[in-house]
Structure formats: structure tokens, C-alpha cells
């Protein structure tokens, strides 16, 4: 059976565990790929749904996901709206820098995203596979995106049983169409521990990462492009020069035969 385009009703069961904001292409029936967006630490999903709408990738259904845990009120100014979420398993501080740890563990977020959204909705309910999906993340969301792609290669051969009783080769779901990280390093907690692990086949675009963090990604992925903007700070792209590498990557991945 060919895959079908998800409807808003397909995502309704996620409302209590992994809320999403959707942007459908026009018309929705033109959907041929998916863009899953992960915001940064302390943000929420609507701004990233707005970003997806602004770039309006043809034939792409954008799914902006809310972080799995709200920031504690003690970290927010009094009277702050409940719009601040994060992806990590905790909020540990790095003693060397005094900043939040780049790798707080992503087990809860990984399980919810992969089991409920990717496998539950897109693969099992609608018939797509991971090669139809691009991941996009900012900051901590970028780390989650890279980690999901890194970990997926460990499922390169899953033996399942079809309705007819035959084994099913799940190599189709061993890599994503692409992943973009703005400022989020690869969390080593999501790198498979096998010394004989292959590099991931997911194509990667890194924006605003240091040489050290770039090298860590190149050690685990076959195809990596890295771009640094003229400004030193990390933020969402805000002019043509910053958007161009991102749009070029999207265009290449959407054209690619996988």
C-alpha cells in the first residue's frame, strides 16, 4: 500500500505527551516529505511552526514539536507564561563553564519522538519511512536531532514479522533524509557504543558549531556540511546569506533519490 498523507486527527493522540504544531503544504495532498522541528532550551513549538511556514518547502509537511519537560518556575521571571520547555533528562550544569550541560541525556525525548511520532504516526499509521523525514533543531533541539540520527543506525537491520509471517528487513528505517543542527553539538550519550559501528548515512548540515563539535559529528556521519555565519553568536537565520545554506541543503535533500 502506498503511504497516505497524515491528517490532524493522526496527531491528536500526541496532545498529552508530545504536542505538535503542524504546517501542511498546499494542497496537503502534495506531501512527499516531512520536516520535524525541535526548538531550543526554554522555547516552545509555535515559533518554529511559523519558521516552517515562512520557508514553505514545497511538498513538505512540517511538524514542530514541544519540548518534553517544562522549565521549573525557579528559572523563570515571575509571571512568565508557561511557554518554556526543554528536551534533556535533567538540567545539570557544566562545572567547567557554568552553563547547562550539552549532554543531559535525551532518553525521554528520544523515546517519545521515535516511538509515538515517527514510528507510531508516520511509519505504522501512515506508511512512510525515516528516509522521508528531515530533522531540524536549534540549540538543545539540534543536539536531539543529531542524536536521533546517530542512534537510528543501530537499527539498520530489524527482523520483524509481517502479516504473512515473513521476516521484514527494516533497513529502510536506518537513516533520515537529512538533519540540520543550529548550534547543537552531537550528544555522545546517543552514539552507539559498538567499536565496529558504521557511520550514519543521514546527511547533515551544521550551522554555528565549533571545530571540535564539527569533528565529533564527522566521526559519526558519512556526509557532513558545516557553515559558520559572519556573526559569532548563535541564533535562527535572519538574512539571505544565513538562510541560503539552509535552503540549499533542503533543496538537495528533497531532490535526492534515497
* Cβ pair 99, 139 in contact under 8 A: no
* Cβ pair 138, 23 in contact under 8 A: no
Q: What angle do CA 155, 13, 140 make, to 5 degrees?
A: 55
Cα separation, 136 vs 180, whole angstroms: 5
Q: Where are the beta strands (DSSP E) in the chain?
A: 20-23, 33-38, 60-65, 69-70, 85-86, 133-138, 159-161, 167-169, 178-182, 204-207, 224-227
List domains and CATH numbers for the chain: 8-255 (3.40.50.1820)
Give the CA distances from residue 185 to residues 56, 85, 102, in Å, rounded to whole numbers and listed in that order.
26, 19, 7
Residue 74: per-residue pLDDT: 80
Residue 171: per-residue pLDDT: 59
Residue 165: per-residue pLDDT: 42
Residue 233: per-residue pLDDT: 87
Q: Which three cell numbers stand for residue 178?
A: 537529512
Instruction: Tell me how far the alpha carbon of residue 56 is from its chain's centroid.
Output: 18
Residue 93: per-residue pLDDT: 72
Written as tens digits, the pLDDT of the chain (258 aa) is: 789 999 999 999 999 999 999 999 999 999 999 999 999 999 999 999 999 999 999 999 999 999 999 998 888 888 778 889 999 999 877 777 778 888 999 999 999 999 999 999 999 999 999 999 999 999 999 999 999 999 998 764 343 434 444 434 455 678 999 999 999 999 999 999 888 899 999 999 999 999 999 999 999 999 999 999 999 888 999 999 999 999 999 999 999 876
Give the number of other CB atoms < 10 A from CB of residue 101.
Answer: 16
Cα separation, 211 vs 96, whole angstroms: 19
Give the CA distances from residue 119 to residues 13, 128, 130, in Å, rounded to whole numbers and listed in that order.
13, 9, 9
Cα separation, 201 vs 193, whole angstroms: 17
Q: What angle do CA 228, 198, 121 make, to 5 degrees?
A: 80
With H, G, I as helix, E, B as strand and everything else as coil, classify residue 65. strand
Cα separation, 234 vs 231, whole angstroms: 8
CA dihedral sign of residues 39, 41, 45, 46: negative
Residue the block writes with cell 535533500: 253
Cα separation, 83 vs 244, whole angstroms: 30
Residue 92: per-residue pLDDT: 76
Contacts of 222 (CB under 8 A, 6+ apart): 199, 200, 201
* Cβ pair 145, 182 in contact under 8 A: no
Amino acid at each position: 500500500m502506498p503511504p497516505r498523507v497524515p491528517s490532524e486527527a493522526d496527531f491528536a493522540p500526541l496532545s498529552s505527551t508530545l504536542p505538535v504544531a503542524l504546517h501542511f503544504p498546499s494542497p496537503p495532498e502534495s506531501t512527499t516529505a516531512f520536516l520535524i522541528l525541535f526548538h531550543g532550551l526554554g522555547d516552545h513549538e509555535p515559533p518554529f511552526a511559523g519558521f516552517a511556514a515562512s520557508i514553505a518547502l514545497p511538498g513538505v509537511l512540517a511538524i514542530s514539536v514541544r519540548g518534553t519537560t517544562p522549565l521549573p518556575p525557579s528559572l523563570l521571571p515571575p509571571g512568565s507564561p508557561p511557554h518554556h520547555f526543554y528536551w534533556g533528562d535533567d538540567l545539570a550544569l557544566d562545572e567547567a563553564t557554568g552553563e547547562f550541560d550539552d549532554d543531559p541525556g535525551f532518553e525521554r525525548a528520544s523515546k517519545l519522538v521515535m516511538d509515538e511520532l515517527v514510528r507510531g504516526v508516520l511509519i505504522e499509521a501512515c506508511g512512510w519511512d525515516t528516509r522521508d523525514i528531515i530533522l531540524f533543531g536549534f540549540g538543545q533541539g539540534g543536539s536531539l536531532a543529531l542524536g536521533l540520527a546517530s542512534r537510528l543506525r543501530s537499527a539498520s537491520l530489524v527482523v520483524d514479522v509481517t502479516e504473512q509471517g515473513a521476516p521484514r528487513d527494516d533497513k529502510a528505517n536506518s537513516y533520515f533524509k537529512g538533519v540540520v543542527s543550529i548550534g547543537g553539538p552531537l550528544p555522545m550519550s546517543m552514539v552507539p557504543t559498538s567499536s565496529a559501528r558504521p557511520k550514519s548515512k543521514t546527511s547533515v548540515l551544521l550551522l554555528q558549531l565549533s571545530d571540535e563539535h564539527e569533528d565529533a559529528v564527522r566521526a559519526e556521519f558519512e556526509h557532513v556540511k558545516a557553515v559558520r555565519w559572519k556573526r559569532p553568536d548563535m541564533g535562527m537565520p535572519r538574512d539571505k546569506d544565513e538562510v541560503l545554506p539552509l535552503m540549499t541543503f533542503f533543496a538537495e535533500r528533497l531532490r535526492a533519490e534515497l
